[in-house]
Amino acid sequence: MSNTIPLVDLQAQYRQIGPEIDAAIRRVLGHTGFILGREVEEFEAAFAAFCGVAYCVGVDSGTAALHLALEACDVGPGDEVITTPFTFFATVETIVQAGAKPVLVDIDPATYNMAPSRIEDAVTPRTKAILPVHLYGQPAEMDVIMDVAKRHHLKVIEDAAQAHGALYKGKRAGSIGDISCFSFYPSKNLGAYGDAGAVVTNNAELADKVRLLRNHGRTTKYEHKTVGWGYRLDALQAAILGAKLPHLEAWNDARRAHSMRYNELLADTDLVLPYEPEHVRAIYHCYTVRSAARDGLSSFLRQKGIDVGIHYPIPMHLQPALKDVGYRAGDFPISERYSQMVLSLPMYPELTEEQVKQVSDAVHAYMDRA
């Protein structure tokens, strides 16, 4: 009887680095400076260096990072922000929270990211920013996005919540646009043990704005220059992230190795496997395949004790919460079709070769049966 295989295994990672994590937590418990402070500043410096940017501002989630990045870019009522319908809800939710209108662009059929050729058509006199998402850990086509943004004087806000360490033409995801957002949700490639996130940028003015807005717009303990939010990163999460960051490259390499192995083992099936353009280095936050038989395959795998995910089953323009944005079924046919076809297989650094083989064998067993 083979063992069950989870989609993500956070315990395996803790088994590997437990003593380092415990020491980091004990350090914070020792001084009880739980909000912002030394660990947050140290992690911000380390993560900025990792991304190859000048500034990092820690916040309490990826969603908060997106919200503050939009606010720092002065996105507000009457503005439009171009983004993708094929993403996690927070990408679009925060545009609506900022009072702006999300303008969606259907995805590229090969990469699942915003189709580069469609972006410029979506620009109007009201467009304020482009918000690409590096879905599954694969950078969006940033040269095209930066070029359109430059010609139309738009800000570029990267949603790099799934792309810690990914490369686009040698540059880190998150280091190319004006300002970028990371999530450290526990299952992300770099994950906290709770909610956490960060904004990174090379622009000192944007960094200052985000730093002010994350902490009630305060300049001193009881003086508030502007109305902000309580979006601070706490020291325990920062200490944990600081202990994990030195391992991130090796973990990303392990994910890539598993992905290449999946690619080999699944090459002769009907599945459409991930496509990685030459000029990017994806970090496989998800290993996502496509199949017309998705629903049958996913229940079969679950029966075999293999956990799978669907990222994502409902495109943004079909979300009940976003019906007032004004889109209808049929507006983004590729996203709609793919939302019925995508399936994410187990993916985490500590997967063993045997587990990858076991998942692949199960996929073959279903395909041969069907």
Ligand X SMILES: *Cc1c(COP(=O)(O)O)cnc(C)c1O
Residues contacting residue 197 through CB under 8 Å, at least 6 positions apart = 58, 59, 60, 61, 62, 63, 64, 65, 161, 181, 182, 183, 184, 185, 233
* Selected binder of ligand X within 162, 189, 288, 335 (CB under 6 A): 162
CA-based Rg of the chain, rounded to a whole angstrom?
21
Helix axes 62-72, 204-213, angle to 10 degrees: 120
For strand 223-224 and strand 280-281, is the pairing parallel, antiparallel, or unpaired? Answer: unpaired
When CB distances to ligand X are compared, the closest residue is: 62
Interatomic CA distance for residues 253 and 257, integer angstroms: 6
Classified as helix, coil or strand, 289 is: strand
* Selected binder of ligand X within 13, 91, 298, 355 (CB under 6 A): 91
In whole angstroms, the minimum distance from the beta carbon of 21 to ligand X comes to 19
Q: Is 98 in the site for ligand X (CB under 6 A)?
A: no
* Selected binder of ligand X within 80, 159, 178, 234 (CB under 6 A): 159
In whole angstroms, the minimum distance from the beta carbon of 191 to ligand X comes to 9
- Looking at the Cβ atoms of 84 and 360, the one nearer to ligand X is 84
Q: How many residues form the binding site for ligand X (CB under 6 A)?
A: 15
- Looking at the Cβ atoms of 293 and 334, the one nearer to ligand X is 334
* Selected binder of ligand X within 40, 48, 81, 161 (CB under 6 A): 161
* Selected binder of ligand X within 57, 129, 133, 301 (CB under 6 A): 133
- Looking at the Cβ atoms of 91 and 291, the one nearer to ligand X is 91
Q: Is 335 in the site for ligand X (CB under 6 A)?
A: no
- Looking at the Cβ atoms of 13 and 180, the one nearer to ligand X is 180
**Residue-wise DSSP of 344-358:** EEP--TT--HHHHHH
Q: Is 62 in the site for ligand X (CB under 6 A)?
A: yes
For residue 173, the 8-state DSSP code is: T
- Looking at the Cβ atoms of 182 and 262, the one nearer to ligand X is 182
- Looking at the Cβ atoms of 91 and 259, the one nearer to ligand X is 91
* Residue from 197, 237, 182, 243 nearest 34 by CA: 237
Q: Is 61 in the site for ligand X (CB under 6 A)?
A: yes
Interatomic CA distance for residues 82 and 123, integer angstroms: 8
**Residue-wise DSSP of 249-263:** HHHHHHHHHHHHHHH
Contact map string, positions 174 to 193, toward ligand X, x by CB under 6 A: ---------x-x--------
Is residue 301 within 8 A of residue 366, CB to CB? The reply is yes
Q: List contacts with ligand X (CB under 6 A).
A: 61-63, 87-88, 90-91, 133, 159, 161-162, 183, 185, 195, 197
